[in-house]
Amino acid sequence: MLKYLSVLLYPFSLLYGLVMWVRNKLYDRGMLTAVEFDIPTIAAGNLSVGGTGKTPHVEYLIRLLKQQFQVATLSRGYNRRTSGYILADTTTTALEIGDEPMQFHQKYPDIRVAVGEERMLAIPQLLMDEPDTQVVLLDDAFQHRSIKPGMNILITEYNRRFTRDHVVPFGRLREGRNGYHRANCIIVSKCPPELSLSEKAAIEKEIAPLPHQQVFFTTLQYGAMYDLITQEPVSISPDTTVLLACGIARPEPLLDKLRSSFSQVYLLAFPDHYYYSEKDIAKIIRERDGLPGNKKMVVTTEKDAVRLHLLQKNLTEQNMQMAVMPIEIAFLFDGAERFNNFIFDYVGSFYPTANQ
């Protein structure tokens, strides 16, 4: 049945792909105007709909650049309950700016975090509010053609590479595969840590990077878990039964990580970018209590944590402990130094006296 449904969707994919192709051609030929800015602007995004691991890559860029430059992030603020331009401050919540920007704001309070659907208008407003900003990281802006970033970073997932995908709704691509031509570099994310040199070469051949493009490979790394409310480290013994409660696009890598550490792991999945209610907390408690074993723990992601913080009072009243699993990326094949230099060469071209 699903196979036949997919066939029925294919004509709609062709139509949508054609619309996106025409749109991109209009931008490429200058018939639609893209605005450039005189400070470094780095866009990190993907061709597919969610799940490529974009957020930890943006965080890598934040950590890389914030020691030497005044960094700001600008996101659309997906699924927030507001609209328009907002610059995060000490009173901001995930409801106002969305979960991913809120995660940046909480983890890196020394950078600026802004949201705005119309990035062409939001960047000037951001620079007016924070005139000492030196680098703007554009989160999920690969298809936002009204801005021409100085650098485009395209992220594609190892198990769902854009080279093997199709345009929505038949596939998961937001535009045709040739959109990768706009990228300055391509990152293959969520690779197995033991990825071989021969497979690396095969993937590079499959991607067929253009002469100006570099290809990098990253894998996920998980940090020490901490308490959602207290932020204190949490130690969980291997014989604990774990319930992973999360609303993310692709929980499978985290599930695999937990299953490698604990003998019994269960998943309670919510929609991506989901805002939890008190009823959901009660459901999580019921699911946890119904699991086998004497020792039980609920684990969630950092992205979920910023949404669950909205229910902090309820969690405290329920005496509900949740452990947060932080996530980072690591470059394979000694690619970190090459990538860092690639980024610093671009940003440094605007600030020749910067100490690299």
Cis peptide preceding 169, ω within 30 of 0: yes
pLDDT digits (tens, 9 = 90+) for 148-172: 999 999 999 999 999 999 888 888 8
Give 242: exposed, middle or buried? Use CB within 10 Å, 0-12, 13-18, 19+: buried
Q: How do strand 214-222 and strand 226-227 relate by DSSP bridges?
A: unpaired
What is the Cβ-side half-sphere exposure of residue 351, based on CA atoms within 13 angstroms? 16
- The yes-or-no verdict on residue 120 having pLDDT over 80 is yes
Distance (Å, whole) CA 274 – CA 99: 9
- The yes-or-no verdict on residue 326 having pLDDT over 70 is yes
pLDDT digits (tens, 9 = 90+) for 281-317: 999 999 999 999 899 999 999 999 999 999 999 999 9
Residue 199: count of CB within 10 angstroms of its CB = 14
Distance (Å, whole) CA 309 – CA 10: 41
Distance (Å, whole) CA 120 – CA 245: 37
- The yes-or-no verdict on residue 271 having pLDDT over 80 is yes
